Amino acid sequence: MSGRELTLLTEGRVELLGRIPRGSNATLLAQVSCGDEAAWAVYKPEAGERPLYDFEPGLYRRERAAYLLSEYLEWGIVPPTVIRAEAPLGIGSLQWFVAGDQHEHYFTLYADSPETHRILLQIALFDCVTNNTDRKSGHVLRGDDGRVWGIDHGLCFSAGFKLRTVIWDFAGEPIPGALLEDITPLAEAVPPAVAGLLDDAEVTALKRRVRRLLQEGVLPVDPTGMRYPWPLV
């Protein structure tokens, strides 16, 4: 994606179109417009967050942090995501809307599209790095252009180990060397733009997770069979 998307998200006028159903927090479809250009975006205001015992309010910061980390790694997993303070319901994240077949998700892509396995493994590794607590199958999308994306990262970056994901098909597989090289710098330093959205304990834990991935060289295995989110899709 180009800078056009970030310009629209950052500077465009935000108009609410409706609520996206099935989310536990308020997830709203919005139109962003700037001059003659307009596009859809997903708006998640802090005011619409359901209180959680294990995450502080402000999940929008984690949405933004996941995008910035994906960009730092040059993986392009997370759609462009910004923080907007002057949005209709107050501060929250604004993410580029991925248009695609809504019947496709992780389970269908893994089963029916072997050519996606490389990017699906990469998303699995990204979830290990970010400690994703909520990787449902429906949080993996294929856009109209064929590109595969990961969305919904509000429950990431916890200092305590909370990995819950549907992507266990690659468990125990070696992590490709190129991906290990990509994450290696994170073992010592987290990009300031990402670290600034997390607390010190979360930054330290991210580095510790990366060091363990580098040491083991394989994607983790869940011996309990219980590290799944609910619902699965």
pLDDT tens digits, one per residue of 138-174: 999 999 999 999 999 999 999 999 999 999 999 999 9
Q: Angle 117-130/59-73 helices, nearest 10 degrees?
A: 130
pLDDT band at 118 (very low <50, low <70, confident <90, very high): very high
Residue 153 lies inside a defined structural domain of this protein: yes
Enclosing H/E stretch for 140: strand 140-142
pLDDT of residue 1: 61
100, 111 in Cβ contact below 8 A? no
pLDDT band at 2 (very low <50, low <70, confident <90, very high): low
130 has pLDDT over 80? yes
Listed residue (179, 160, 155) closest to 62, CA to CA: 155
Residues 6+ apart with CB under 8 A from 152: 63, 134, 136, 139
The pTM of this model reads 0.96
Residue 226 lies inside a defined structural domain of this protein: no
Residue 43 lies inside a defined structural domain of this protein: yes
The sheet carrying 13-19 orders its strands as: 13-19, 28-34, 37-45, 92-96, 81-84
* Average pLDDT of the segment spanning 98-116: 96
What is the residue-averaged pLDDT of the chain? 96
Q: Report the number of distinct structural domains present in the chain.
A: 1
24 has pLDDT over 90? no
pLDDT band at 88 (very low <50, low <70, confident <90, very high): very high
Residue 84 lies inside a defined structural domain of this protein: yes
pLDDT tens digits, one per residue of 29-61: 999 999 999 999 999 999 999 999 999 999 999
Q: Say how far apart CA 226 and CA 51 lie, in whole Å.
A: 24
Residue 231 lies inside a defined structural domain of this protein: no
Beta bridge partners of 28: 19, 43
pLDDT of residue 14: 97
Tokens 């970030």, residue? 6
Residues 6+ apart with CB under 8 A from 7: 34
Range of the domain at 120: 3-216
pLDDT band at 22 (very low <50, low <70, confident <90, very high): confident
Q: Say how far apart CA 91 and CA 213 lie, in whole Å.
A: 35
% of the chain exceeding 70 in pLDDT: 99
Residue 232 lies inside a defined structural domain of this protein: no
* Average pLDDT of the segment spanning 16-20: 95
Residue 119 lies inside a defined structural domain of this protein: yes
* Average pLDDT of the segment spanning 182-200: 98
Residue 221 lies inside a defined structural domain of this protein: no
Q: Is 40 exposed, middle or buried (0-12, 13-18, 19+ CB in 10 A)?
A: middle
